[in-house]
């Protein structure tokens, strides 16, 4: 297990380094932030002074070298717009995005697994067809359209839920969260539901497929022959066998929820890192864009590392094949 973790960790560090290079070069190529930050009527001397102040007068290699050295010390540069450390802006907004992703994932799991079990245990029934049709809609309809429909129905027509913002936050174990107040929960329902719909459909289909593949196997027939109740067969034997793909996909999808919450946060004006990214791209705030991408990629990598470790614990064959 130790060798397995060390190997995965080494691969993760290499991916982070390669990503930092690609992201820095890519962001450098999208335009000159001075054109946006400096007024059009600024003099040549003022323009040159701004370029030097932002460190944009040096070559790309020199800028990347300085960035890499500073990044190793946790310094990703200062925002051109806010004049604050870029990483501090990310961490100020990150709790809101993590909260949104966690609630969306919880919704997807709490509804997706039971619905997938029901559909898998009653194949080709009206219930199965209804659930699978709903999952197809969750896959097919664009995320932004789903968000707008949720706002139109529940905010505009019915007036049940607020359409934007994070609402009032409270503290749980010293952490500010919308889950600690009714107003915060009301503001959280629509964006979390919007973000969860795709993952909900994925979990339903994954669970149904796992159930359909597991139920005909010999050990299920043997369990029935032993006189085990259907509830125990499903809750212990079936769930245990479909757990590995669910753990893998859920781990991957949690990273996706964080990375792709941009659309949901923009539609619902949720003050997370996704909305910060859109605002920063609009004004070419390079340090914030680079910091955001590196933080998200690093989170993706370490979530995948954690999934690999859990996967190897659930299925020792994976661990053994890696060490041979």
**What CATH number has the domain bearing residue 152?**
1.10.3720.10
Same domain, 119 and 234: yes
Q: Which residues pair with 138 in a beta bridge?
A: none
Same domain, 135 and 224: yes
Residue with tokens 């992201």: 23
Same domain, 139 and 211: yes
Looking at the domain assignment, is residue 98 inside a domain? Answer: yes
Residue 126 and residue 190: Cα distance in Å, rounded? 29
Residue 247 and residue 254: Cα distance in Å, rounded? 11
Instruction: Quote the tokens at residue 303.
Output: 């979530």
Q: What is the pLDDT of residues 125-174, one digit of tens each?
A: 999 999 999 898 888 888 889 999 999 999 999 989 998 888 888 888 77
Looking at the domain assignment, is residue 2 inside a domain? Answer: no
pTM recorded for the entire structure: 0.79
Range of the domain at 56: 23-75
pLDDT at residue 36, rounded to an integer: 65
Please give the tally of structural domains in the chain. 2
Q: Which of 273, 257, 269, 264 is nearest to 162 (CA)?
A: 269
- Residue 258, pLDDT > 50, answer yes
pLDDT at residue 15, rounded to an integer: 81
Residue with tokens 């149904």: 208
Instruction: Quote the tokens at residue 275.
Output: 């909305």
Mean model confidence pLDDT for the chain: 82
Looking at the domain assignment, is residue 196 inside a domain? Answer: yes
Q: What percentage of the chain exceeds 90 in pLDDT?
A: 18
Confidence of residue 38 (pLDDT cuts 50, 70, 90): confident
CB 280 within 8 A of CB 81: yes
Q: What is the pLDDT of residues 80-120, one digit of tens each?
A: 788 888 888 998 888 899 899 999 999 998 999 999 999 98
Q: How far is CA 158 from CA 67, 162, 181, 257, in A?
A: 50, 11, 22, 28
């Amino acid at each position: 297990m130790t060798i397995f973790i060390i190997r995965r960790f080494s691969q993760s560090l290499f991916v982070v380094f390669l990503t930092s290079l690609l992201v820095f070069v890519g962001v450098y190529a999208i335009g000159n932030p001075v054109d946006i930050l400096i007024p059009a009527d600024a003099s040549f001397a003022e323009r040159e002074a701004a370029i030097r102040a932002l460190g944009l007068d040096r070559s790309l290699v020199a800028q990347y070298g300085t960035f890499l050295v500073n990044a190793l010390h946790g310094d990703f540069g200062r925002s051109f717009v806010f004049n604050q450390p870029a990483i501090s802006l990310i961490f100020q907004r990150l709790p809101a995005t993590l909260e949104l992703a966690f609630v969306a994932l919880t919704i997807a799991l709490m509804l997706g697994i039971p619905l997938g079990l029901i559909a898998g245990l009653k194949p080709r029934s009206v219930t199965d067809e209804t659930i699978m049709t709903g999952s197809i809609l969750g896959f097919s309809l664009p995320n932004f359209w789903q968000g707008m429909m949720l706002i139109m129905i529940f905010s505009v027509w019915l007036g049940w839920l607020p359409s934007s913002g994070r609402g009032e936050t409270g503290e749980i174990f010293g952490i500010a969260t919308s889950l600690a107040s009714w107003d915060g929960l009301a503001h959280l329902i629509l964006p979390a539901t919007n973000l969860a719909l795709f993952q909900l459909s994925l979990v339903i289909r994954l669970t149904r497929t796992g159930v359909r593949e597991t139920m005909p196997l010999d050990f299920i027939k043997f369990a029935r022959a032993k006189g085990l109740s259907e509830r125990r067969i499903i809750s212990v034997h079936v769930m245990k066998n479909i757990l590995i793909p669910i753990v893998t996909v859920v781990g991957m999808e949690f990273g996706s929820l964080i990375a792709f919450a941009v659309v949901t946060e923009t539609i619902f004006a949720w003050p997370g890192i996704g909305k910060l990214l859109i605002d920063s791209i609009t004004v070419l705030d390079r340090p914030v864009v680079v910091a955001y991408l590196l933080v998200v990629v690093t989170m993706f990598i370490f979530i995948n590392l954690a999934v690999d470790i859990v996967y190897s614990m659930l299925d020792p064959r994976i661990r053994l094949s890696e060490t041979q």
